[in-house]
Amino acid sequence: MTEATLTASQPIALTSLTEDETLFRNNVQQFAEEKIRPLVKEMDEKAIFEHALIEDFFQLGLMGIEIPEQYGGAAGTFFEAVLAVEEFSRVDASAGVVVDVQNTLVNNALLRWATDDQKKRYLPKMAAETVGAYALSEAGSGSDAFALATRAELKGSDYVLNGRKLWITNGKEAGIFILFATIDPAAGYKGITAFIIEKGFPGFTVGKKEDKLGIRASSTCELILEDCRVAKGNVLGDPGKGYKIAIETLNEGRIGIGAQMVGLARGAWEHAAKYAEERKQFGKAIAEFQAIQFQLAQMATEIEAARLMVYNAARMKDAGVKFVKEAAMTKLFCSQVAERVTSQAVEIYGGYGFTKDYPVEKYWRDSKIGKIYEGTSNMQLQTIAKLVLSGK
């Protein structure tokens, strides 16, 4: 093998981590290799996430990373949540998104907007046993996120909710939902209100589970509300403030999706580099051909650039610095890199890469969602354009 040959044993360089962060990342990576990887193929084929893994996630403290110790959480940082998402996604993007939605969307929303009473009621559950879901999208409100048809009417001491939600990640497993509805359609976005809904509330049903191209083990479900009664005490934030809650929470969630895309790109690259060492053509490993070396080098460079964007945005969030532009750029670029890298990995495998007997086709399928959920690429471009062109 030539000196210039890329090898899978030469990992992509890591950006600076503290000693505690390095230990945390290594522990998550070890768990992913030992417990998640053996189940990936079966979970993808059956489109079912192994419940025992979720129990392990809770036991390891990975479902309440930023939740304070007083509520049973790990009292960690947003950056640590991002590391967990990345390392899980390197093995299985479905596992990554379970942890991502829990930490960057649901827990974050509760930590920022819940009352003291709501925190006491719900945060211990989120840290110990209950999966969360974030329910914003509807059939008629995707990128136009606040054209909501789901209606909430105040009747006595309760709100009565009617409507349907679509594309809700963790819908099957979740016990608590942050759900958005309008209390006044005529008020536009000023009528949007966030509610904390428990799975057992009367009138609330989890409907059809989608049969998806990628992240198949992750459940994506319809939610049905038929005269679902929700106490006024379960309004998250103030009535009419749901728009602000959704926008600000999604800004954080987009960094998590960036981490998911970096993780799965890393996983695909590692498989491709290893295969290039093993595959022989014209009497030598294809990794010895400069064309393959250059492809792997370009892939590695783009992954590292994407990772730097994720880490920078996460550090900004933890530091309390404005990061809206950086979050949008991160999600946009990381999803592009993931799609390119996973596609190239399939090509390096050749015909084998196009079969389900080898792992890279799954990475490619999983990558596609990165440009779609938590704000499409066009929506990220719109946000970036507004901020950079306004000089902000």
Average pLDDT per block of 10 residues along the chain, 392 residues long: 40 72 97 98 98 98 98 98 98 98 98 98 98 96 88 97 98 98 94 97 98 98 98 97 95 98 98 98 98 98 98 97 97 98 98 97 98 96 95 64
Residue 146's pLDDT is: 80
DSSP state of 138: B
CA angle 272, 276, 278 (to 5 degrees): 120
Residue 24's pLDDT is: 98
- Which is the catalytic residue, given 66, 86, 138, 374? 374
Catalytic (active site) residue 45: no
Question: What beta strand segments (E) does the chain contain?
Answer: 131-135, 151-155, 158-169, 174-182, 192-198, 204-209, 220-231, 235-236, 280-281, 284-285
Residue 142's pLDDT is: 83
Nearest to 259 by CA among 91, 86, 378: 86
CB 161 within 8 A of CB 203: yes
**Exposed/middle/buried for 69, CB within 10 Å: 0-12, 13-18, 19+?**
exposed
The full length of the chain comes to 392
Phi–psi pair at 199, nearest 5 degrees: -60, -30
**Contact residues for 132 (Cβ-Cβ < 8 A; gap 6+):** 101, 102, 105, 106, 107, 126, 170, 174, 175, 176, 177, 178
Residue 392's pLDDT is: 58
pTM, two decimals, is: 0.95
Q: Which long-range contacts (CB under 8 A, 24 or more apart) does 379-385 make?
A: 379/143, 380/254, 380/328, 380/329, 380/331, 380/332, 381/332, 383/324, 383/325, 383/328, 384/325, 384/328, 384/329, 384/332
Structure tokens, 56: 């392990």
Structure tokens, 265: 């790109």
DSSP state of 353: G
**Contact residues for 151 (Cβ-Cβ < 8 A; gap 6+):** 161, 162, 163, 181, 182, 183, 185
| Domains by residue range for the chain, with CATH | 19-131 (1.10.540.10), 133-240 (2.40.110.10), 244-389 (1.20.140.10)
Helical residues (DSSP H) of 92-183, grouped into ranges: 93-100, 108-113, 116-128
Structure tokens, 391: 């000089």
